[in-house]
């Protein structure tokens, strides 16, 4: 049993207020639900590890200058090229004498930017297609879902590759290319979520009160669909990061001298045998961050859906 | 169902056509060069039809694609289709072995995880899968090369064969391991296998991650069913119930998973083949990318896309064939 279940008597104080079986206000009910979800997550060690990694990524990206020296990441000092790991250079230096530690730290900004931009594009597009499809049904549903299925059947990396190749290399185009191939699952998810609620009584009540379709979609259905969309997004993040790093590795992502992790692995390839740290350390950063998102996503899914094992 | 496959295929051609249009390079200029006279420019423009209305251009493009005409590659000066049939067996050899590794190991691991749910076996399999999900394949390839090729010397390095073994065996299937067996050249076989084993294991691990995870969740669904309890009560050994009855019921779903895994292996080929200098479709596309050889890139996208759609369809077809329950539902 859970740690809270072993205590005798109901919890008191603010925890009691949050865990109250009969909340007195909507705010209390909502905060209580969040708190219970948090407790579920908190008990899951792996998920908490994931959360810590993701938070660390965000903090490091925002406060990068506090963790590393900006000049060390970008200034070329050729007499210091390909230095091994030392106190001055914890991860060694690359082929242009730049500090790899500083570059990995500043590279987190690029990763976070890509992740944020893709989310900002993919979620509205997915909701924009999935919600009306599930809500209106009929031919609107048929047409929208057919388009979604077509995009779903495409090979993701290859298509992103072709887009990036046609649009030209660069971080913006990488984001567009990934987004174009990443939205269909969200449309399907939003549709499924809408279908389960379409005939609920509270929707009928809203309709009877004269709410417009748009209003019902935005105020009733969308807020209820968002949690599962966000969980799905967390689970997808690892894939998005790996695709972005793959594009970077192929030279289609952020361009030099930007410290993009995938591109750093690629530039270290030719020194792999003698200076292993140049190629492998940025790869470890990619691995840890995508593992963090996977762990967190798994935990969130377990909390939201007790059937998932 | 054929209708939806055709529609998906049309969608794919629309997208590749669109990609071909948005490229910021003037296709006419790319052919005639910037020293050509106005008249030559106009003639070539009319020839390749850049001034025609978009729907007409699309129609011409679709016609070509349906006749398997992807144009001529700029770097190799061969028709793209010819290039692709030449490089595709290399990718097949890699992907097939990887899929074999992934299935043969992934399915039993998934079953064990499901039967030992919540115990250490389950945790090991789940965490191992999660690691596989999270690793960048190109990085894993480099680490593998560094460790097993450069440091330990257990396997051969990049490429399909050592240079000294090139062109010894005649091409029959295009899969060097099989061709060398047919020709009876055991040296070539062992060399080819030694080159193949590292990239195939790495890709195999990544597909294992997915296969094991899906097997586990399918099996959990089966083990909850009442027939499991009934067969156990009847006195069948737990081993038989799990590996024959329950696994027999999820096998059909697994076919879908394995088909999709194969698709993603073809996709991932671009990265793996770049790391291992493996002369397959992925490396071909990557090289074309950097020489602005759009015909080759779009041709490759088209071929992988078609295989992808085909695999999706295949699993839909196999489903009712193997599983009577899916037949009645239509």
Q: What are the pLDDT digits (tens) for B293-318? A: 778 888 888 888 888 888 877 777 77
Give the pLDDT mean for A28-34.
81
Helix runs in chain B, H state only: 2-22, 27-32, 38-48, 54-66, 80-115, 120-134, 137-144, 176-183, 186-223, 226-234, 238-240, 247-275, 281-289, 294-322, 324-329
Residue B104: the pLDDT is 93
| Average pLDDT over all residues of chain B | 83
- Which residues of chain B are within 8 Å of residue A173 when distances are taken between CB atoms? none
**Which member of B134, B285, B300 has the closest CB to residue A238?**
B134
A226 shares a domain with A176: yes
Residue A307: the pLDDT is 42
Measured between CA atoms, the residue of chain B closest to residue A154 is: B305
Domain span holding position A15: 8-43
Round to whole Å and give the CA distance between B213 and B312.
20
> Own/partner pairs for B146-155, CB < 8 Å, 24+ apart?
B146/A272, B146/A273, B146/A276, B146/A280, B148/B198, B149/B198, B150/A272, B150/A273, B155/B194, B155/B195, B155/B197, B155/B198
Round to whole Å and give the CA distance between A117 and A124.
12
**Which member of A146, A155, A279 has the closest CB to residue B267?**
A155
pLDDT of residue A284 exceeding 90, the answer is yes
Q: For residue A206, is it within any domain? A: yes
Round to whole Å and give the CA distance between B130 and B209.
7
Q: What is the sign, positive or negative, of the torsion defined by CA atoms of B89, B95, B101, B107?
A: negative
Q: For residue A3, is it within any domain? A: no
Round to whole Å and give the CA distance between B263 and B267.
6
A1 band by pLDDT with thresholds 50, 70 and 90: very low
B325 band by pLDDT with thresholds 50, 70 and 90: low
- Which residues of chain A are within 8 Å of residue B138 when distances are taken between CB atoms? 245-246, 249, 262, 265-266, 283
What percent of chain A shows pLDDT beyond 90?
Answer: 18
Give the pLDDT mean for A254-272.
86
- Which residues of chain B are within 8 Å of residue A149 when distances are taken between CB atoms? 4, 8
A113 shares a domain with A20: no
A165 shares a domain with A52: yes
A288 shares a domain with A174: yes
What percent of chain B shows pLDDT beyond 70?
Answer: 94
**Which member of B136, B217, B304 has the closest CB to residue A242?**
B136
- Which residues of chain B are within 8 Å of residue A276 when distances are taken between CB atoms? 146
pLDDT of residue A164 exceeding 60, the answer is yes
CATH number at A94 reads 1.10.3720.10
Give the pLDDT mean for B164-176.
76
A34 shares a domain with A162: no
Residue A126: the pLDDT is 92
Q: How far is B116 from chain A (nearest CA, A)?
A: 12
pLDDT of residue B66 exceeding 50, the answer is yes
**Which member of B146, B216, B304 has the closest CB to residue A155?**
B304
- Which residues of chain B are within 8 Å of residue A272 when distances are taken between CB atoms? 142, 145-146, 150
Q: For residue A2, is it within any domain? A: no
- Which residues of chain A are within 8 Å of residue B308 when distances are taken between CB atoms? 153-155
Q: For residue A293, is it within any domain? A: yes
Q: For residue A281, is it within any domain? A: yes
Determine which of B110, B121, B139, B303 to mutate to test the interface with A (most A C-beta atoms within 10 Å).
B139
Round to whole Å and give the CA distance between B94 and B268.
11
Q: How far is A249 from chain B (nearest CA, A)?
A: 8
Are the beta carbons of B136 and A249 separated by less than 8 Å?
yes
Give the SS3 label for residue A99: strand
Residue B198: the pLDDT is 92
Measured between CA atoms, the residue of chain A closest to residue B114 is: A309
What percent of chain B shows pLDDT beyond 90?
Answer: 14
pLDDT of residue A308 exceeding 50, the answer is no
Q: For residue A1, is it within any domain? A: no
pLDDT of residue A268 exceeding 80, the answer is yes
Measured between CA atoms, the residue of chain A closest to residue B270 is: A158
Give the pLDDT mean for A209-224.
85
Tokens of B46: 């009319």
Q: How far is B237 from chain A (nearest CA, A)?
A: 25
A39 shares a domain with A110: no
Query: Of A80-84, B28-32, B178-182, B273-277, which gets the smallest average pLDDT?
Result: B28-32
**How many structural domains are present in chain A?**
2
Are the beta carbons of A158 and B143 separated by less than 8 Å?
no
A8 band by pLDDT with thresholds 50, 70 and 90: low
A154 shares a domain with A34: no
Q: Would you say A309 and B217 are in contact if contact means Cβ atoms under 8 Å apart?
A: yes
Are the beta carbons of B217 and A309 separated by less than 8 Å?
yes
Are the beta carbons of B266 and A283 separated by less than 8 Å?
no
A110 shares a domain with A24: no
pLDDT of residue A306 exceeding 70, the answer is no
A56 shares a domain with A36: no
Beta-carbon contacts of residue A90 (< 8 Å; ≥ 6 apart): A101
pLDDT of residue B196 exceeding 50, the answer is yes
Nearest CA to A171 out of A251, A227, A293, A253 is that of A253
Residue A116: the pLDDT is 92
A110 shares a domain with A17: no
Beta-carbon contacts of residue A227 (< 8 Å; ≥ 6 apart): A304
Q: For residue A185, is it within any domain? A: yes
Query: Of A104-113, A232-241, B4-13, B96-105, which gets the smallest average pLDDT?
Result: B4-13
Q: How many CB pairs under 8 A join A and B?
A: 140
Are the beta carbons of B217 and A242 separated by less than 8 Å?
no
**Which member of A150, A166, A283 has the closest CB to residue B19?**
A166
Measured between CA atoms, the residue of chain B closest to residue A251 is: B290
Are the beta carbons of A162 and B16 separated by less than 8 Å?
yes
A158-178 burial, b at 16+ Cβ within 10 Å, e below that, comes to bbbbbbbbbbebebebbbbbb
Round to whole Å and give the CA distance between B261 and B271.
16
Residue B205: the pLDDT is 92
A211 shares a domain with A178: yes
Q: How far is B321 from chain A (nearest CA, A)?
A: 22
The most confident of A282-286, B31-35, B265-269, B318-322, by mean pLDDT: A282-286
Round to whole Å and give the CA distance between B297 and B290.
10
A117 band by pLDDT with thresholds 50, 70 and 90: very high
**Which member of A251, A266, A287 has the closest CB to residue B135?**
A287
A5 band by pLDDT with thresholds 50, 70 and 90: very low
A118 band by pLDDT with thresholds 50, 70 and 90: very high
A55 shares a domain with A38: no
Query: Of A125-129, A201-205, B166-170, B214-218, which gets the smallest average pLDDT?
Result: B166-170
Between the CA of residue B145 and those of A114, A269, B9, B124, B158, what are the distances in Å?
29, 11, 38, 25, 8
Tell me which of B163 and B288 has the higher pLDDT.
B288
CB atoms within 10 A of CB A217: 20
What percent of chain A shows pLDDT beyond 70?
Answer: 95
Give the pLDDT mean for A49-62.
92
Q: For residue A243, is it within any domain? A: yes
The DSSP annotation for B267-319 comes to HHHHHHHHHTT--SHHHHHHHHHTTT-HHHHHHHHHHHHHHHHHHHHHHHHHH
**Which member of A246, A251, A283 has the closest CB to residue B271?**
A246
Q: What angle do CA A24, A26, A31 make, to 5 degrees?
A: 95
- What DSSP designation does B152 have? S
**Which member of B145, B271, B309 has the closest CB to residue A272?**
B145
Measured between CA atoms, the residue of chain B closest to residue A243 is: B136
């Amino acid at each position: 049993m859970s740690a809270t279940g072993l205590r005798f008597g109901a919890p008191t104080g603010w925890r009691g207020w949050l865990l109250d079986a009969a909340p007195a206000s909507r705010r209390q009910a909502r905060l209580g639900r969040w708190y219970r979800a948090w407790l579920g997550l908190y008990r899951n060690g792996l998920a908490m590890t994931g959360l810590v990694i993701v938070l660390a990524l965000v903090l490091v990206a925002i406060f990068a200058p506090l963790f590393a020296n900006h000049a060390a990441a970008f200034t070329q000092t050729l007499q210091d090229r390909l230095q091994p790991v030392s106190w001055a250079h914890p991860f060694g230096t690359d082929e242009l004498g730049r500090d790899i530690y500083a570059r990995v730290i500043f590279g987190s900004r690029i990763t976070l930017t890509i992740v944020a931009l893709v989310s900002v594009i993919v979620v509205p597009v997915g909701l924009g297609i999935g919600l009306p499809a599930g809500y209106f049904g009929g031919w609107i549903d048929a047409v929208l879902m057919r388009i979604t299925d077509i995009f779903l059947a495409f090979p993701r990396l290859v298509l992103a590759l072709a887009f990036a190749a046609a649009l030209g290399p660069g971080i913006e185009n990488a984001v567009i290319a990934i987004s174009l191939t990443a939205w269909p699952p969200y449309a399907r998810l939003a549709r499924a979520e809408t279908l389960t609620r379409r005939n609920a009584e509270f929707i009928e009540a809203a309709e009877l009160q004269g709410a417009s379709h748009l209003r019902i979609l935005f105020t009733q259905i969308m807020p209820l669909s968002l949690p599962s969309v966000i969980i799905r997004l967390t689970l997808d993040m690892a894939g998005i990061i790996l695709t972005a790093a793959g594009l970077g590795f192929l030279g289609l992502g952020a361009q030099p001298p930007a410290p993009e992790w995938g591109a750093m692995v690629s530039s270290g390839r030719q020194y792999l045998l003698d200076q292993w740290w140049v190629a492998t350390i940025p790869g470890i950063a990619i691995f840890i961050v995508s593992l963090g998102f996977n762990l967190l996503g798994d935990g969130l899914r377990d909390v939201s859906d007790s059937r998932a094992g | 169902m054929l209708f939806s496959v055709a529609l998906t295929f049309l969608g794919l051609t629309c997208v590749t056509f669109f990609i071909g249009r948005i490229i910021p390079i003037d296709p006419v200029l790319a052919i005639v060069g910037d020293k050509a006279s106005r008249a030559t420019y106009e003639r070539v423009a009319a020839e390749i039809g850049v001034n025609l209305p978009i729907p007409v251009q699309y129609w011409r493009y679709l016609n070509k694609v349906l006749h398997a005409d992807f144009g001529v590659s700029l770097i190799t000066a061969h028709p793209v289709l010819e290039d692709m049939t030449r490089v595709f067996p290399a990718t097949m050899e890699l992907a097939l072995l990887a899929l074999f590794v992934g299935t043969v190991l992934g399915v039993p691991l998934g079953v064990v995880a499901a039967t030992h749910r919540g115990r250490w076996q389950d945790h090991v399999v789940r965490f191992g899968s999660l690691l596989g999900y999270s690793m960048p394949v190109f990085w894993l390839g480099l680490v593998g090369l560094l460790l097993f090729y450069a440091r330990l010397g257990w396997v051969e390095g990049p490429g399909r064969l050592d240079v000294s073994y090139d062109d010894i065996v005649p091409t029959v299937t295009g899969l060097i391991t099989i061709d060398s067996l047919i020709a009876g050249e055991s040296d070539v076989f062992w060399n080819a296998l030694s080159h193949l084993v590292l990239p195939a294991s790495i890709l195999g691990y990544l597909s294992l991650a997915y296969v094991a995870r899906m097997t586990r969740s399918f099996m959990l669904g089966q083990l909850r069913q009442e027939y499991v309890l009934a067969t156990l009560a009847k006195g069948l050994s737990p081993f038989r119930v799990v590996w024959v009855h329950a696994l027999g019921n999820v096998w059909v779903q697994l076919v879908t998973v394995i088909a999709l895994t194969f698709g993603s292996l073809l996709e991932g080929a671009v990265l793996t083949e770049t790391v291992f200098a493996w002369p397959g479709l992925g490396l071909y596309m990557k090289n074309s990318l950097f020489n602005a050889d759009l015909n080759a890139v779009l041709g490759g996208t088209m071929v992988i896309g078609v295989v992808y759609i085909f695999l999706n369809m295949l699993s839909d077809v196999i489903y009712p064939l193997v599983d009577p329950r899916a037949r009645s539902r239509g």
